[in-house]
């Protein structure tokens, strides 16, 4: 099974309850998070009225953040691999 990959179109900074910071900068490639989001996606959608998605960095399986879908652009595996080379 392949991951759904996306290019970030707007910088995104997230501060968690543990005071660690996750960020995604314009042009970063992220993948759709496949785990439990504990309602955070729907919380953000309800709070903003904008559709969100849970994503994580390519090297992460357990640290995710939400981002508006409009701030993501789908990319192919080829595009993603050429960005990281």
Of 28 and 19, which is predicted with more confidence?
28
SS (H, E, C) the chain: CCCCEEEECCCEEEECCCCCEEEECCCCEEEECCCCCCCHHHHHHHHHCCCEEEEEECCCCCCCEEEEHHHEEEECHHHHHHHCC
Residue-range definition of the domain harbouring residue 65: 5-83
Give the pLDDT band of residue 6 (cuts 50, 70, 90): very high
- Structural domains counted in the chain: 1
Domain at 24, CATH number: 2.30.30
Which tens digit of pLDDT belongs to each residue from 20-75?
667 888 999 999 999 999 999 999 999 999 999 999 999 888 888 999 999 999 99
d(CA 6, CA 28): 8
pTM: 0.82
Residue 47 tokens, joined: 């709070």
Length of the chain: 85
Asked whether the predicted pLDDT for residue 2 surpasses 80, the reply is no
């Amino acid at each position: 099974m392949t991951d759904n990959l996306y290019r970030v179109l707007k910088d995104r900074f997230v501060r968690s309850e543990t005071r660690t910071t996750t960020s995604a900068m314009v042009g970063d490639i992220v993948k759709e998070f496949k785990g439990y989001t504990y309602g955070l996606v729907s919380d953000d959608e309800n709070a903003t009225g904008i559709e969100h998605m849970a994503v994580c960095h390519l090297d992460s399986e357990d640290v995710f953040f939400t981002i508006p879908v409009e701030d993501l652009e789908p990319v192919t595996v080829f595009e993603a691999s050429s960005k990281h080379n």
